[in-house]
Amino acid sequence: MHIIDTHCHIGLHKYEPVETLLYHMQRAGVAQAVFIQYMGNTDNAYLAETIAAYPGQFAAAMLAPADDDGSAIRGWTEAGIGGIRLAANFRGTGSDPLAHWRTADELGLVVSAPSSPASLAGAEFAEVLRLFPNLPIVIEHLGGARPGMTAEEFQPVLALAAHENLTIKLPGFGEFCHLPHPFRDVPVFADGVLEAFGPRRMMWGSDWPPVSSREGYDSSLSFPLDYFADLSEDERAWIFGKTARWVWKLPGA
């Protein structure tokens, strides 16, 4: 199976450089990855440089200043970054609060959206969905699923499957299961997302390196692979690689 990790953080001043990620990817059998810029850092140079240094292996989502009018976004897009990280309820502080969303839609960027069930059900995100119905938006971290969350609290995430421009990231199960690994009582969240969105709108993402403080990189992949072992080979191929390749426009094997 050609596996793509859609949620990794790299850096020179926070987290780890790409060489450390490559070690974990090679050990786990992961072929490609998507860098998600960590919060607070709008200097995306290291992401752009790494994408250029490893042609075809990586994609990335930038961060832009809150007051950006679209100029910074366009600049980083020209540097090779094809996505942007915008919280589901994000509004800019410039003259156009929707400038980031509008520019992403204009340039055909992929939006990686950190969120919670509450923000996904809020008026701000509803406006984005109404104004930009064709903008590809990837809901991060299984919509903010957490240990102890009830199925009722999670319901707003499942309701969003009606919007065909949305896909959703399946994280390591340590994000929504009680530690330690191996997890014993797995909530219904992953199964619910599979039923609502289908495998072609799901993509796996490790959340490396924060996942190292939960179940670790290898287990963030092996546990969901085993959990969905009863799916067909093609269904698992979509969740663990093909959806990401399609959304993030990564080259094939």
Give the helix/strand (H/E) hosting 77. Answer: helix 71-78
In a domain, 253, yes or no: no
Sheet holding 32-36, edge to edge: 4-8, 32-36, 58-62, 83-85, 110-113, 137-139, 166-171, 202-205
If one counts the domains in the chain, the total is: 1
Residue 119 lies in a domain: yes
Range of the domain at 146: 4-248
In a domain, 59, yes or no: yes
pTM over 0.85: yes
Q: Are 208 and 8 in contact (CB under 8 A)?
A: yes
CATH label of the domain that carries residue 94: 3.20.20.140
Contact of 8 with 204, CB cutoff 8 Å: no
Per-residue pLDDT of the chain (253 residues; tens, 9 = 90+): 999 999 999 999 999 999 999 999 999 999 999 999 999 999 999 999 999 999 999 999 999 999 999 999 999 999 999 999 999 999 999 999 999 999 999 999 999 999 999 999 999 999 999 999 999 999 999 999 999 999 999 999 999 999 999 999 999 999 999 999 999 999 999 999 999 999 999 999 999 999 999 999 999 999 999 999 999 999 999 999 999 999 999 998 5
Three-state DSSP state, 239: helix
